[in-house]
Amino acid sequence: MIRLVISNQRGGVAKTTTVATFARYLADRGKRVLVIDTDPQGSIGTVLGLKPTKYLHDFVVYNHLFKDCIVEACPGVDVLCGNRETVKTEGHLMGQVAREFVFNNLFTQVETGYDAVLIDVAPSINLLQTCAMVYGKSLLIPVSMDPLSLQGAAASIETARMLNSLIRIEIQPVALLPVMVDRRLQITEVVSASLKDLSVRTRIPLLHGIRTDTTVTKCNRAKKFLADFEPRSKALEDYQTAFEELLNLLHGEPRKDQDEVQETAGPARA
């Protein structure tokens, strides 16, 4: 079972695109995937054009049946969408004992039909993100080529460290994923160097980087998976390579030497 939280304390770093693309990648390989959106913006539902009748708030607060709260995004991928009511969900949980473990109690009861659970969290440190990290225990951190995104990645790593210390559980950042990589820009070189340094200092592997691709924006507007909208896009090609590396890490296979990983972290292809 894969449980993976996709986190960065900075918004606009392709978290939702990464979640949707990874979910479809796994489904295309015969896996059953549950996507949970804890962001009040409800980005997953928006970019995939989903029309749920019930949301995360209904499942967590009102105890509605799980099967009534999920919506199928494609064969093999179910989504539990977030919406504006998600903010109230956090308020509801604040007064509960052991509130950090709420997701453990809820989702371990319904995850048995799935091979993977992917959680998209809001770009802020809040209770729902804490619940997601405590339940998922594994983090994938997308990092776009700007300094604030790098700071957001460091904040996610520090949040995991603090939770490990306070709650005494093991939350592990599995990998850093460079996104929106454009080698023509000087800022990319600067951020890539800092990202490599962060990877070395924290011993968190760097995955193959995802090139900037206007197809992604067009795909989101069309409300489709990238694999359906443009299966030959350079972003999808990079994601597939990165996901192969990620699965190796999640399955505990020996990690590459850091220099080898860095060679794939920011593709220089045109």
**Domains of the chain, start order:** 2-265 (3.40.50.300)
On the 0-12 / 13-18 / 19+ scale of CB atoms within 10 A, 118 is: buried
State what percent of residues in the chain have pLDDT above 90: 89
Residues of the chain with pLDDT below 70 are: 253-270
pLDDT digits (tens, 9 = 90+) for 104-115: 999 999 999 999
pTM of this prediction? Answer: 0.93
What CA–CA distance (Å, rounded) separates 85 from 70? 16
pLDDT given for residue 252 in this prediction: 85
> Element (H or E) spanning 178, and its range?
strand 172-179
Measure the CA–CA gap between 241 and 245, rounded to whole angstroms: 7
Contact present, 8 and 141 (Cβ < 8 Å)? yes
SS3 of residue 216 by DSSP: helix
pLDDT recorded at residue 95: 85
Task: Report the Cα–Cα distance between both ends of the chain, in Å, rounded.
Answer: 37
